[in-house]
Amino acid sequence: MKLLSTAFLVSALVAQQALAELTFTVKATRNGKPVPASEIKLEPFQPSRNARTASNSRVPPPPANGKERRTNPSSYSSNWCGSVNHATALNPIKKIHAYFQHPTCTKRTGVATYPQAAAFWAGIDGDTYTSALLQSGTVCKIDNSTGIVRNEAWWQWYPSAAYTITSLPVAIDDWFEVTVEATTTTSGVITLENLTQSLIYTITITGGPTLGRVDADWVVERPTVGGSPAGFAHFTDVWFQDAYATRTTGSLGILGANQYQILNSCSSAEYDDSNEVSWVP
């Protein structure tokens, strides 16, 4: 994630012009009370093509550490680790939801690439539909060998806009609730809540790149930083809980999703239709 040069203040009331034609507004509450516009701050970073990339590795082996992979099909990816379920264009995804706890991140042993990072998010598209991806969550970043970790909240509508929410604090073990809603193929609402710190951010977006609304993603990712894959930071287990996606008719859960693994770096498994876990093997 390549940060642009200047931070800026986002009004809670006035739409801001992002890249291309995308515009958005941001509102926030703390303990149920509105956060003043002067305290809402976002910082743009270069939108990254974080769509899943394939891997030529063999079919993953059964999981270790007492976690049981059940019946979901499993395959390798080079950058996504988690569950992705699918809808059809005739019955598209409207909203995706999950709770997760921001993990402890540390330098990964034997990895000399910096920065190291790991991102934890829910989103729509980016797997079978790669032209656009609407997503939000948290990320940990380790810039160099000192091992100092930055924990951040963020959202992105690839390929038009990406922002770190610098005024939304992220601490180890904080619980987050994320909801990403595609109100149309080119508009949406992201709600990212730090439940531990009683902060809710709502981003309302229009003019985004056209979504297919066919992929429902609950993912731990090795992100791209500055155009290249970051070193993949070590992280404690991440559970996506109460995970679901609504469609025009009906819903999707974890069961029946594709379980993506990153060879020797990240394993994932479904627990039931509402919960899945990703971990460092």
Give me the active site residues, please: 221
Helix/strand/coil for 60: coil
| Amino acid, res. 55 | S
Q: How far does Cα 281 stand from its chain's mean position?
A: 21
| Amino acid, res. 177 | E
d(CA 122, CA 96): 7
Helix (H) / strand (E) containing 75: strand 74-76
Q: Which two three-digit tokens encode residue 213?
A: 């609304």
Computed on alpha carbons and rounded to an integer, the radius of gyration of the chain in Å comes to 17
Please give the full DSSP string across 124-144, using - where no structure is assigned.
Answer: E-SSS--S-EEEEEEEEEE-S
Beta carbons of 231 and 117 less than 8 angstroms apart? yes
Residue 20 has a CB neighbour count (10 Å cut-off) of: 14
CB proximity list for 199: less than 8 A, separation 6 or greater: 28, 29, 30, 35, 168, 169, 193
Length of the chain: 281
Residue 85 has a CB neighbour count (10 Å cut-off) of: 25
